[in-house]
Amino acid sequence: MDDFFKEIDGMENLVIEIQKGLTAIPAINPENGGDGEYEKFLFLRKLIGSWGFDSLEEFLVPDDRVKSKMRPSLIATINGKVEQKLWIITHLDVVPPGEEALWDNSPYNAVVKNGRIYGRGVEDNQQSLVSSLLAAKTILDNKIKPHYTVKLFFIADEEVGSDKGIKWFLENNNFFSKDDLIMTPDGGEPSGKTIEIAEKSILWIMFKVLGKQSHGSRPDKGINSQRAASHLCIRLDDMLHAKYNGTDPVYDIPVSTFEPTRRYNNVANMNTIPGEEHLGFDCRILPCYRLSDVIDDIDVVSKEIEKQSGVKIETDIIQNLQAPAPTPPDAGIVRLIQKSVNKLRGFIPQPIGIGGGTVAAYLRMKGYHAALWSTIDMTMHSPNEYSIIKNTMDDAKVFLDMMMGE
């Protein structure tokens, strides 16, 4: 294994090459104004097509919102000594860059500096995607057979709810079995000392606040949707934090969070009272609370604001994901990660819960044990997102050790 690890240490240029190629393709979901993952899928398929995988399976999920009319996913398989499968699931899509003025370079032109590579998607989720490729390439180049049957699953549509990704596969083509070892390395922290086995419930909710537009000097002729939206925001913030204030030390942030995140469709000039405004909340809620109760309480506050301000508030629930039961801390995938990390790094990572949402939640809903582990600086979704190149290679060694079952 030491010789194989040395091979991975020599793959820095390959890491940069793959990262640059992936980053140059903005695989943004149509909900966020993008055209999906198809071009990125084509790049990846061409890259690994001659590597020698035992099979490459393409899955094209229909979606009329994108130019290709399909949302692609890819499964690359290396047959193992045993039929038991080790899945490493990473996603192809990325979030938009946000305010591009905050980036030091173009978000889609990956830049290497001081051992890091900068660009949108390089950490979320391309770092682990590349790590899985390095581990697989080492096996294929050396013509060795891993202990487990390795399944690298490159999946679409993770960032906005997985309707065209893992949810579709679980409903239409369920490849998984209860004895599979499923790793979804879409989270982690800088030390690599934690394994995510639980996630909070997720509620994404948009409010359309409808008032009446008028001249800025004649508020008596209008109904100010911005004022009403501001009252709604503050009232919800106060109510939700006060009522759903429990704690759970298992989670990296031990409380529920209720964050106003999106606001748009206001007027462009100073002297017009806005008649319409949109307000979004991203809520990550401890599983001890039922989302149906949270939604009922939100509805009560919305009606109070309607009565107080004379506006109409329309509510659109974008995501409503009640957290499933956690992966048991002694599950096979958790023990396998712990064994390989301890062997290579000299410590045993501990199970935790997180507020982020990943494909693991949908797998757990179906009774499959999934766990997340990687070594990242948690720059995902931020300006100047970066990935540490050494982390990519070091994580690949852990993935390889897991594949070999040594």
CA angle 334, 2, 118 (to 5 degrees): 70
DSSP, collapsed to helix, strand or coil, labels residue 305 as helix
CA angle 396, 37, 368 (to 5 degrees): 55
Q: Which of 7, 63, 93, 276 is an active site residue?
A: 93
- Look-up: residue for tokens 């820095």? 12
Q: Which of 158, 159, 276, 395 is an active site residue?
A: 158
293 is catalytic: no
63 is catalytic: no
Cα distances (angstroms) measured from residue 380 to each of 16, 69, 207, 386, 397: 18, 28, 26, 8, 22
Contacts of 219 (CB under 8 A, 6+ apart): 273
Q: Are 291 and 284 in contact (CB under 8 A)?
A: no
Cis peptide before 125 (omega within 30 of 0): yes
Q: Are 213 and 311 in contact (CB under 8 A)?
A: no
Cα 237 to Cα 258: distance, rounded to the nearest angstrom: 7
Residue 402's φ and ψ, nearest 5 degrees, are: -65, -45
Q: What share of the chain is helix, strand, coil (3-state, %, to 5)?
A: 35, 25, 40
Give catalytic residues, as residue numbers.
93, 158
